[in-house]
Structure 1
Amino acid sequence: MTGLTNTALAQTRTPALVPNADLNSSIQTGPGPAFTPTETAKLDPADNGQALFKDDAPPEGGWKGLARLLEAVTPAIDTSIPLTSSQITDRISQMLDQGRNQEALEVIEKRSAQLAGQNTLGNDVQLLFLHGRALSALGRHAEAIAIYQDMTTLYPELPEPWNNLAAEYVKQGRLELARDALDMALAANPAYATAQANLGEVQLMLARQSFQEAAQMGARGAEARARKAGSILAQ
């Protein structure tokens, strides 16, 4: 991207794309085994009903630490009742929806450490996705991009990480990469309406950028077209 383009972009607001909030629809329709995390849901009688769920990780880094953290951020939770992986990620998603982003990140990191101590095949894909959401909400966009990039490598058939990756690229003004990511999202799911709408936004941003550059080069009418594209983006 040229210095001229950077100047033009700095003078006009870059709209944000619409990120996706979860992977439930894709996971439910995808090839089951790749997207099904281990549902560790049975209590160990030796824990006297205090375990969140059974696992063999070290106490402070495993279920005890996670249970304490979940109790602290969601006081109504009953940790004497075991939670499945999906229930835990549902609670994390609710925290993010409520703007409790730092608390959600702490739970995600504790849950990730707990899972790392288990001999579990594959990844908890929903947890990875929520990790990207939390980092983005906290303004840690480079880290969010790294999470989404990893997801597109591990699960290229899931459209949502591609969409959210595009949203992060737009925040950095990397419009061509955003367009490519949205193309991949739509290749994975041609009926993905959010990605289709976001692609339209990115195409308008690229059109505005091109008209701005053309105006700087003296092309007649280019400045008016850039303003028109900008006005559409502002609606």
Structure 2
Amino acid sequence: MRLIPSLILSCVLLSLATLARADMYTDVNRLIQAGNWPQALEQVQLRLKTAPTDPQMRLLLSRIQDGQGQTDAALDTLQALTQNFPELPEPHNNLAALLVRQNRYAEALTALEAAIQARPDYAIALENLGDVHAALAREAYAKALKAGPAQTRVQNKHLTLDQMLKNTTP
């Protein structure tokens, strides 16, 4: 008979721990959105001391690093995450976003394909994949214009993609 109250107590404590962890992620997200990088980083580092492999907290760390202008550190964090947790699509997608900002489209394609392989219905990664293909097409049309500048058809395609990509940038 004593086993049941102990079991109930264990379930309640586990639920409270889960809620506390969920609040921790919410708190860090709020700090990130407010641009409060030092406090967000402090919270992330506290969590990673006790759970160094926590993928969600490491993903948040990469956002903080990027927000603080530490793009190389954010890239390293995301690359490590994709190696440790290849089944998670978000690190692949976020890695691709950083690579696109550096015009590293081929690497971004690889990362997005991994994100989509991990989760075929991941709408954000699918949209990003379309944007990367459009950026690559725009680059190809720009090269075609250099080779033959009087090509109206190519100019129109290049301008259309240029305008489309400008409208997708937040």
Q: Normalising by structure 1, report the TM-score.
A: 0.59
User: Is this contact kept in 2: 1:169–1:175, CA < 8 A?
Assistant: yes
CA distance in 2, matches of 1:223, 1:135: 39
Segments of 4+ moved more than 3 angstroms: 83-86
Q: Paired residue for 1:232, among 135, 158, 164?
A: 164
CA RMSD, Structure 1 to Structure 2 (Å): 2.0
Q: When you count helix as a share of all residues, which structure comes out higher? A: 2
Aligned: 1:178 with 2:94:
no
Residue correspondence of structure 1 range 154-173 to structure 2 within 5 A = 154-173=84-103
User: Is this contact kept in 2: 1:158–1:185, CA < 8 A?
Assistant: yes
CA distance in 2, matches of 1:125, 1:87: 16
Residue correspondence of structure 1 range 181-220 to structure 2 within 5 A = 181-218=111-148, 220=151
Identity rate, percent: 31
Deviation at 1:231, TM superposition (A): 1.0
CA distance in 1, matches of 2:37, 2:124: 23
CA distance in 2, matches of 1:147, 1:197: 23
Residue correspondence of structure 1 range 43-192 to structure 2 within 5 A = 84-112=20-48, 114-115=49-50, 123-192=53-122
Q: Which amino acid aligns with 2:95?
A: L
- Where does structure 2 lack aligned partners over 5 or more consecutive residues? 1-13
Q: Normalising by structure 2, report the TM-score.
A: 0.80
Q: Which amino acid aligns with 1:111?
A: R
Deviation at 1:101, TM superposition (A): 2.1
The one of the two structures with greater contact order (alpha-carbon pairs below 8 A, sep at least 6) is 1
Residue matched to 2:11: none
How many positions carry a matched residue from both structures?
Answer: 150
Deviation at 1:130, TM superposition (A): 0.6
Deviation at 1:226, TM superposition (A): 1.3
Residue matched to 2:154: 222
Q: Kindly provide the CA deviation profile for residues 65-117 of structure 1, in whole angstroms up to 9, marking residues without a partner as x.
A: xxxxxxxxxxxxxxxxxx833332221112112221232113222332x32xx
User: Is this contact kept in 2: 1:102–1:138, CA < 8 A?
Assistant: no
Deviation at 1:154, TM superposition (A): 0.6
CA distance in 1, matches of 2:37, 2:57: 14
